């Protein structure tokens, strides 16, 4: 019988907390079971295994990050939207490094729920980029460029990869300016 009060949702919350503290690559079901106060076999009453847990952390992260990006982009577009997206993306990755790591992999094939969450994220980004008049392939390229740029920055920053004395905040500003220029050019060509 499952432990009273322990639900799949609670297990995923605790697993995500472990991932945030130790890193997703160090997440184990044994650590999650300890944190939940159950035996490892008891944990399996709520989840099917580590990949199942990581999938749910990733799904939750995509939804949370999408929510933050949506809130950041309300009422803004163009350069201002890029600036707010950069802030929100960076804040999320810093606040939840384990969650953030879980969103980097593609969803499992045939996972309609995860694919819908990802599609919603792309829709939010596309709406924020609307001011650049990007359509079709140009829009897909812009979404990919945005994700790659923001991911590169937050990954390097959280790994301590920016050891030079210049302000990382200033680097983000320059990145947003560069993206703005690139997206204006890409929009003009579509």
The predicted model gives 39-68 an average pLDDT of 94
Q: What is the pLDDT of residue 2?
A: 45
Q: What is the pLDDT of residue 107?
A: 80
Please check whether residues 24 and 68 belong to one and the same domain: no
**CA neighbor of 3 nearest in space, from 49, 31, 50, 35:** 35
* Residue 148 pLDDT > 70: yes
The tens digit of pLDDT for each residue in 154-182 reads: 999 988 899 999 999 999 999 999 999 99
* Residue 64 pLDDT > 80: yes
Residue in the block written with tokens 């001011």: 131
| Residue 148: C-alpha distances to residues 4, 8, 62, 145, 153 (Å) | 43, 32, 15, 5, 9
The tens digit of pLDDT for each residue in 15-53 reads: 999 999 999 999 999 999 999 999 999 999 999 999 999
Which two structure tokens, joined as six digits, stand for 97? 């490094």
Q: Chain-wide mean pLDDT for the chain?
A: 92
| Residue 34: C-alpha distances to residues 3, 30, 54, 68, 125 (Å) | 13, 6, 17, 31, 38
Residue 31: which domain range? 1-47
Q: What is the CATH number of the domain that holds 27?
A: 1.10.10.60
Q: What is the CATH number of the domain that holds 69?
A: 1.10.357.10
Q: What is the pLDDT of residue 3?
A: 52
CA distance 76 to 78: 7
Total structural domains in the chain?
Answer: 2
Please check whether residues 7 and 59 belong to one and the same domain: no
Please check whether residues 38 and 58 belong to one and the same domain: no
CA distance 65 to 94: 12
Please check whether residues 134 and 87 belong to one and the same domain: yes
Residue 4: pLDDT band with limits 50, 70, 90: low
* Residue 149 pLDDT > 60: yes
């Amino acid at each position: 019988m499952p432990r009273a009060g322990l639900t799949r949702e609670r297990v995923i919350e605790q697993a995500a907390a472990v991932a945030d503290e130790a890193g997703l690559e160090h997440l184990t079901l044994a650590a999650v079971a300890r944190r939940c106060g159950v035996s490892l076999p008891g944990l399996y009453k709520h989840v099917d295994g580590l990949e199942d847990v990581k999938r749910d952390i990733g799904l939750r992260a995509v939804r949370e990050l999408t929510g933050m990006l949506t809130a950041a982009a309300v009422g803004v577009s163009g350069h201002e939207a890029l600036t707010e997206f950069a802030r929100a993306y960076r804040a999320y990755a810093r606040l939840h490094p384990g969650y953030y790591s879980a969103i980097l992999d593609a969803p499992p094939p045939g996972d309609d729920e995860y694919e819908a969450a990802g599609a919603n994220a792309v829709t939010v980004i596309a709406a924020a980029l609307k001011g650049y008049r990007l359509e079709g392939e140009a829009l897909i390229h812009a979404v990919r460029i945005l994700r790659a740029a923001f991911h590169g920055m937050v990954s390097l920053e959280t790994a301590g990869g920016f050891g030079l004395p210049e302000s990382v905040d200033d680097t983000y500003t320059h990145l947003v300016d560069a993206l703005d220029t690139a997206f204006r050019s890409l929009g003009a060509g579509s």
